[in-house]
Chains A and B, each alone.
Chain A
Amino acid sequence: MSFLFGGKPQLSSAEKIDAALTEVEMVSDMFNRLSQSCLKKCIPADYREGDLNKGESVCLDRCVAKFFEVNVKVSEKMQGEAAMRQGGAAGAGGMFGM
């Protein structure tokens, strides 16, 4: 393999495709959830006309922005928790390890 050159290990092509597909899946899953939530919240079940009106459009725009913000905040918080837990575990294990 190409460990001689250092750096990241080369993934086989199947793995690379899988990684790409997983990323695309994650993004499209997020888009589906966002669609579902935002359409449910922002579009009242009136169906008087087939066009979106201004209120609904503004609501959808803001819904997307807020969804992303929530995404970021949740991931930050979870990273913080994971780091804390790892720090606790490493601190406990370090005494025996080294």
Chain B
Amino acid sequence: MSTPASPGNGVPEAPQYQPPKAPPKQNPAFRMLGMPNFRFKLPSRNWLIFLSVTGSFAAAITYDRRQKKAAQKKWCDLVSHIAQHPLPVNQMPRKLTIFLSAPPGDGIRPSREYFKEYIKPVLVAAAMDYDVIEGRKEGDVRYGTAEQIRRLRRKKGEQTEKPDLGEIDPEQLVENIREQLKIRPEPVIRGDLIIGRHTWKEYLRGLHEGWLGPLDEPQSRREPTPPSEDASHSTSTDLPPNDASTSTTTDPPLESPAENKIPPKEAETKPPSPPYAYISTSAYSTSPASPNLPIHLEPSAPIPHRHILGFFNTPIRIYRFLTQRHLADSVGRDTAALVLGLHRPYHQDSSFASSSTGEIDALPVTTSSPETDGTTSPAATVQTAQTWEQQSLLQEEEADWHKSAKKPRKDDLERVWLDDVVIDPRIGQRMRRFELPPEEEERAKRIGQGSERSRAVEVMDLRSEPVITDESQASSGKTWWAFWEKGKD
């Protein structure tokens, strides 16, 4: 009911009567379809913000994972025809060696997961067998590699002091049975797959130590008493800044046992693990190579493994989380190159390109004689040093390493990760690298686009074929053996 709104009344105002609003104009198309009068409304501003942020993040992840799967499938399809090649019963399939090591500052689990996620699918698609050499701390892979090479040398008959332990080794037993049954490995080149710059450095060091070093542990390393100071001095002649730290770490156990909880006697009897290197980097050029050194060493495939830690690196980690497709593509390419088996020698630069010194700055590297020692030199000194491709590979990973890797170690083992890579020409020339041939690269691109299929034949399952009991059930020639029959009958 309406009441006059006059302020002088003293009666509280009643709400104004307003005639009912006409309903908003309906969209004639909806009216024709018989749909109710529904107005589209956007959600509120806050909801819009929330949905757009989460929606875009989810879309980025989904797109990235789909592309990653597609990239991995492309590389797997490129090599899957190899799994269908026949293999005689008395041959063992091609066996690779994988070198895996814990990244500086972290455990080995991330490396294992990286291998399983990016590298293993391609190896499985091509039915490759593999053997893993793992390393939990700095120096493990170096020792493992060198020990394997030394074992090979001993088997080939080089003189050694170590007594033969007999056949307690189960691997040796298996080898013996294989000899008896005349089972040979497949006559193809094998290969080494190295994951990460840190592992790559250890691998190179181990390779040199194995082929250029002695077969038995040098006497001077047995006890970590004063002779060990000489040992640590000889390994670190090229690292004066570290020398101070190594000598200070060896001195306290001898001079001030009160400082150390372990009495010096116990420190003497505990062997360092992994054991010291049997030869130092500066002794490479003067040491004779093993007579069993082959003309070509096993070709190798170094795979990048960028691993970054730290709270303030979170944006970089988020970026890498959202762009795994590029990583999957490049790692897939490297692994496919290894599987397909084409290899080339490593390049060697005769100019003193200073790009390889990188972050290991200003460590005065002593070189004995420029032409025999393949070390790099700072750009200041004019030498005709040769830089090897092996030295500069994967170098950008060193920027990612956690700072704890650069701290001095409690035991005085050499810092393989921090030292420059030293390549002896005899080993450097014999190393080879897997590379993808250009026609395979083209084929991979076509497989990725969908214009070419994998060279593997699809596997049928005869067990699920229907049983034909009369003519009407006979297949209409869609199966593969219809072509077979046409040719035969």
Chain A directly contacts chain B within the complex, with at least one CB pair under 8 Å? yes
A residues sitting closer than 8 Å to B (CB atoms) are 44-49, 51-55, 57-58, 61
Q: Which of A46, A49, A57 contacts B461 (CB 8 A)?
A: A46
Q: How far is the CA of A53 from the CA of B85 in the complex (A)?
A: 5
Nearest CB on B from A71, distance (A): 16
The 4 closest A-B CB pairs, nearest first, are: A51-B86, A55-B83, A55-B127, A54-B127
The answer to whether A48 and B457 touch across the interface, beta carbons within 8 angstroms, is: yes
The count of residues in chain B whose C-beta lies closer than 8 Å to any C-beta of chain A is 19
> Could you list 16 examples of A-B contacts with CB < 8 Å?
A44-B461, A45-B462, A45-B463, A46-B460, A46-B462, A53-B84, A53-B86, A54-B82, A54-B85, A54-B127, A57-B127, A58-B93, A58-B127, A58-B128, A58-B129, A61-B92
Residues of B contacting A44 with CB < 8 Å? 459, 461
The answer to whether A52 and B461 touch across the interface, beta carbons within 8 angstroms, is: no
Residues of B contacting A58 with CB < 8 Å? 93, 127-129
Nearest CB on B from A66, distance (A): 14
Nearest CB on B from A2, distance (A): 32
Q: Which of A45, A47, A54 contacts B93 (CB 8 A)?
A: A54
CB nearest neighbor in B for A44: B459
CB nearest neighbor in B for A47: B462
Nearest CB on B from A3, distance (A): 35
The answer to whether A61 and B129 touch across the interface, beta carbons within 8 angstroms, is: yes
Instruction: Decide if B474 is an interface residue (CB 8 Å cutoff).
Output: no
Residues of B contacting A61 with CB < 8 Å? 92-93, 129
Instruction: Decide if B87 is an interface residue (CB 8 Å cutoff).
Output: yes
Q: How far is the CA of A58 from the CA of B82 in the complex (A)?
A: 12
Residues of A contacting B461 with CB < 8 Å? 44-46
Residues of A contacting B88 with CB < 8 Å? 51
Residues of B contacting A49 with CB < 8 Å? 86
Nearest CB on A from B107, distance (A): 25
Q: A46-B462, A52-B89, A58-B128 provided; 18 other pairs, C-beta below 8 A?
A: A44-B461, A45-B463, A46-B459, A46-B460, A46-B461, A48-B457, A51-B87, A52-B86, A53-B85, A54-B93, A54-B127, A55-B83, A55-B84, A55-B127, A57-B93, A57-B127, A58-B129, A61-B93
CB nearest neighbor in A for B80: A55
CB nearest neighbor in A for B461: A45
- Beta-carbon contacts of B450-483 to A below 8 Å, as 1s and 0s? 0000000101111100000000000000000000
* Complex interface residues of chain B between 70 and 118 (CB less than 8 A to chain A): 82-89, 92-93
- Beta-carbon contacts of B349-368 to A below 8 Å, as 1s and 0s? 00000000000000000000
Nearest CB on B from A44, distance (A): 5
Nearest CB on A from B148, distance (A): 21
CB nearest neighbor in A for B458: A46
Q: How far is the CA of A51 from the CA of B92 in the complex (A)?
A: 14
Q: How far is the CA of A42 from the CA of B128 in the complex (A)?
A: 15
The answer to whether B83 and A53 touch across the interface, beta carbons within 8 angstroms, is: yes
Q: How far is the CA of A45 from the CA of B465 in the complex (A)?
A: 10
Residues of A contacting B129 with CB < 8 Å? 58, 61
The answer to whether A54 and B84 touch across the interface, beta carbons within 8 angstroms, is: yes
Residues of B contacting A54 with CB < 8 Å? 82-87, 93, 127
